[in-house]
Amino acid sequence: MDHPSAALLVLQQNAYWTSAIANLAELFAVHGETARGRASDYAEVYAGRRGSMVIDVVASRQRKYIGRVLKIVDRWEAASPDTTLLTLAESGIDARTYGLQDAEATTIRAVATNLSGFGSTMGLNDNEACKTWADQCGGVEHAPSLDPVVGSVKGIGPALFAYMRMRSGSSAIKVNIRVRKSLRSLGFRVPDSDHATMVVARVAGEAIGIDLLMLDQLLWHANGSTDT
């Protein structure tokens, strides 16, 4: 590594760092190609279905993904004329029908409205709008409320902000209990803070030469994590 970041220079002074990085590198040696493939395909899951993407992201908070979230998405798609941001923005989603909280339904509609308007203003289709948005707002990942499109919507915190960017095609990591637990299982000291978790994750990825999205996918293999 030619030019280590200032944060890496700080964190590598910790006694735990060398062994934790060795554990992460070992995990990458075993599961790196799987993580790389999953990261490569991550944004394509919702290509042409960006309304569904917004529902997925907001509904993912504190729900089992396969058992609950994907079923909500499937039901909405079956009942909707299409899966665009504009359709979701115009029609919204009924909280009671889909087992959502009223506040979640409000968040979903607001995000779809903002992303649809963002794309319309810039002359972009849904896929292009989401990717452009995701790439341009990486600099406010620690303060998502500064982003007027998605981060400022009530109900979107750092974890959902990162997840929306990941599904939109940008490199980020969904800072949640799973990520924190996985990093700790490898030997990293991670305080109970989304911001601290994000810093440790970013620097750990830097140390072994992978981006945040690939690290996120790699950490599914740590400590018996599952995505159910």
Each residue of 140-176: pLDDT tens digit? Answer: 999 999 999 999 999 999 999 999 999 999 999 998 8
Confidence of residue 3 (pLDDT cuts 50, 70, 90): confident
pLDDT at 48: 96
- d(CA 70, CA 211) in angstroms, rounded, equals 26
* SS3 state at 113: helix
* SS3 state at 25: helix
Q: What is the mean pLDDT of residues 180-190?
A: 97
pTM: 0.90
- d(CA 164, CA 167) in angstroms, rounded, equals 5
Backbone angles phi, psi at 145, to 5 degrees: -65, -15
Q: Are the C-beta atoms of 198 and 208 separated by less than 8 Å?
A: no
- d(CA 61, CA 136) in angstroms, rounded, equals 24
Q: What percent of the chain has pLDDT over 90?
A: 92
Q: What is the mean pLDDT of residues 216-221?
A: 95
For the cut 70, the answer to whether the pLDDT of residue 228 exceeds it is no
pLDDT at 106: 98
Confidence of residue 225 (pLDDT cuts 50, 70, 90): low
Q: What is the mean pLDDT of residues 19-23?
A: 98
- For 39-80, how does the pLDDT look when each residue is reduced to its tens digit (9 = 90+)? 999 989 999 999 999 999 999 998 999 999 999 999 999 999
- d(CA 99, CA 182) in angstroms, rounded, equals 30
- Token pair belonging to 219: 């950490």
- d(CA 52, CA 70) in angstroms, rounded, equals 10
Q: Are the C-beta atoms of 129 and 115 separated by less than 8 Å?
A: yes
Q: What is the mean pLDDT of residues 195-199?
A: 93
- d(CA 62, CA 125) in angstroms, rounded, equals 31
- Token pair belonging to 140: 């406010």
